[in-house]
Structure 1
Amino acid sequence: MANAEHLALLKQGVDVWNHWRGTYPAYVDLSDADLQGIQLQRANLSQTDFSNANLSQANLSRADLGRVILSDANLTDANLSEVYLGEAYVSNANLRGANLSEAVLREAIFSEACLTGCNLGHTDLRQSNFQRANLSDANLSAADLRYADFSAANLTMAHLRWANLSHANLNQANLQAANLSGANLAFVTLVQAGCRTTIFNLSELEQADFSQADLSEASFVGANLLNATFTGVDLQQIDLRGATQVPMDLTVNTSV
């Protein structure tokens, strides 16, 4: 339950709030608060408990949300562009349609969160946890996703053009019809991943592990496959035209 004093101060505006935060203890309790549509641009909200709070359509652009708790919070259609969300706990939150473009989300936990249609373009998501999260149709173009964990996540029709996924964990993730053109997938693991009709054109796949993945009708046109692993993969209907460093067991499918 939200602290009544904290909630009253917040509703007085960002200037009053930030002045108070500069003097008083770091921990703030705004759990279960109804903050729909609130304007909190550039607010210092670090280490705040927003669990179960309603922040739908809120404007949190450029706010400091470091180490916040947003578990089970409603952030649908919220503006979180350029926020700092490092080490935040966002498990099971609803961020459908939210704008997180150019945000810093390093080491944040989004496990089982809903990020359908979310804009995560140009974000810093290094070492973040998206286990079992729903990122279908999300925009992750040019995002920094190095060492992120997307195991068992739903990335169907996600936009990952030019994203950096080096060393990421995509085991058992669903990437059906996702676009990873030009992405850096060096040393990524995609064991048992669903990659039906996924586009890997011009991507960097050095030492990527596709063991037992579903690559039906996937496209690797112009991709670099140096030392990539395809153990247990059905090689039919894979498009490898113009791909380089193609493993010997894939050379039979260099044209489709």
Structure 2
Amino acid sequence: MTIGFIGDIVGRPGRAMIEAHLKKIRQEFALDYVIANAENASHGFGLNAQHANELFSYGVNLITGGNHTWDKKEIIPLLETLPILRPHNYPKGVAGSGVKIVHVNAEPIAVLNIMGHYGMPTLNNAFLCAQETVDALLHEGIRTIIVDFHAEATSEKYAMFHLLKGKASAVFGTHTHVGTDDLQIDEGTCFVSDVGLSGARDGVIGMDKTAPLKRFLTGLPCALELPKKCKKIFQMVIVKIEEGKCIDAFKVRIFDDQERHIAKAIYER
């Protein structure tokens, strides 16, 4: 089975890159399933119904979220009806779910969305939640388990990797928007600290640089905005999985001013 995971899609620039490239990537690499983090897909904050349906029409099969899941209130009822996840370690009673089991080519796969603690809203323990959920999925006989760990701290992400190593098929870090150079496979588990955003690449984590610079120079609050014009990037990690174990993984990056994609090799332990 071949699965593609897209990092944080940020606003119109990100959606434009998904529209322009995803269907070709699906065909070129024979992707069976595509997961995308889209909690920033609508104007940089949250996800609305129109943009969710756009992303599904472009070839995304399932959407994961994070701390901006709730920014667009219209998405809340859709968490119950569409393949859109929110972090699983929110308390019981919160709309939606953070885990979904789907069948791809008659094989069950589970997608788990977890949110970290550092710099995030207070939630249930991410590590206990992930451990209990993955163990329960394995007990049910589900071998292919993909985890989106939406977290700020690389220490949390590496700790989650070691906790789930040999159990989950892949642990993908999201949230910090900057793609990291630590893609690896260990004990059949693929890991990368951050897949990296799809969107504007010449600002500050997908946003226009003006407001962040003002914040850092003056300490004053300033609203973040998407750039009106920008250079764009598409980023995806592709994993090949057999019997629940990742046997190959590579990174695909596409720049809007270049025709070719770049595949970055992984290292194995």
Instruction: Name the TM-score, length of structure 1 as normaliser.
Output: 0.23
Query: Which structure: larger Rg?
Result: 1
Higher normalized helix content (fraction of residues): 2
TM norm structure 2:
0.22
Higher strand proportion? 2
Larger RCO, structures 1/2 (Cα 8 Å, 6+ apart): 2
